[in-house]
Structure 1
């Protein structure tokens, strides 16, 4: 079997959180779908709440600190990404947007991405299409057609096994197809765009 890396970014603010719960369900379903396609998976989970101060430092200094750099490299070097955020004021959270803001400009270029969101009410579900999908399209990510929204009532009796479970499985299958069809991502090389000074001096 080939092995691919799946990065899972959760922007939940509490511990435990419904955002992390949804992220884990999506990761488990995607892992199973990739196994069915003959692909082994290494899952790397990023809890943004653990890096809130690191992200704020990056915003004001322009550089990631030692704790944040591996997180950015994990996301940039992944073969696929699951990104889940709580919805506040009809859009993604400020913590989630801050993380996206500090990613390298081309970090998600062509990367298969599955979008997820949570909120207390189903009235916020359109945020996936009017806020999150345009954001990742701007980043040139390959966004899976199905995004998954989970309101508080979706976690009730039969929720995960019922309609929410069906949405998770459908979205996971779409992401698995995108990841399996893509050439494996290589390691992130921070010096890839450094000019060849010997060649420059020989001109």
Structure 2
């Protein structure tokens, strides 16, 4: 990072500021309920406040693999915001609900949450019914008879595959992400060039 703002090109400062604003707008509508594995709104972490280049790398990393996108809190929020524009956010919300479900240690809570997830995402004509085949739906129903942390494993895997092959490529090609990635690249380039310009001390 530059030692002082005076040594940082004005265009770079403007780009970084514009990048942050654009991302905030892009993710503004991204809110998930606590039952679906809350992601919340986009947040600038302390690390990103201190090192904008790390955040640029995070954004650019989302196009490297679907796993990197899902492992990024902001990536998940951005992907969710995109899915909402396509009215297809239920698959991601189900995947997130399953991730939270697997962390439950109480048997009573596990059973209760399993039925809530099934009613919300799996049963026919559920409020947020996910796109899975009949066999997977019935297998999941059967699994609820003896609830374990793996009872949604097959259904979760199929919705993940569907998102990776269908929604994820469209997300990467979307004007919103393309614009975001371009701004991240510009912000990263500015930070790099500014760092290179700093005098070294021996």
TM-score, length-scaled by structure 2: 0.30
Q: Which fold has the larger relative contact order, with Cα–Cα distance below 8 Å and residues 6 or more apart in sequence?
A: 2
Which structure would you say has the larger Rg? 2
Going by fraction, where is strand more abundant, 1 or 2? 1
TM-score, length-scaled by structure 1: 0.30
Going by fraction, where is helix more abundant, 1 or 2? 2
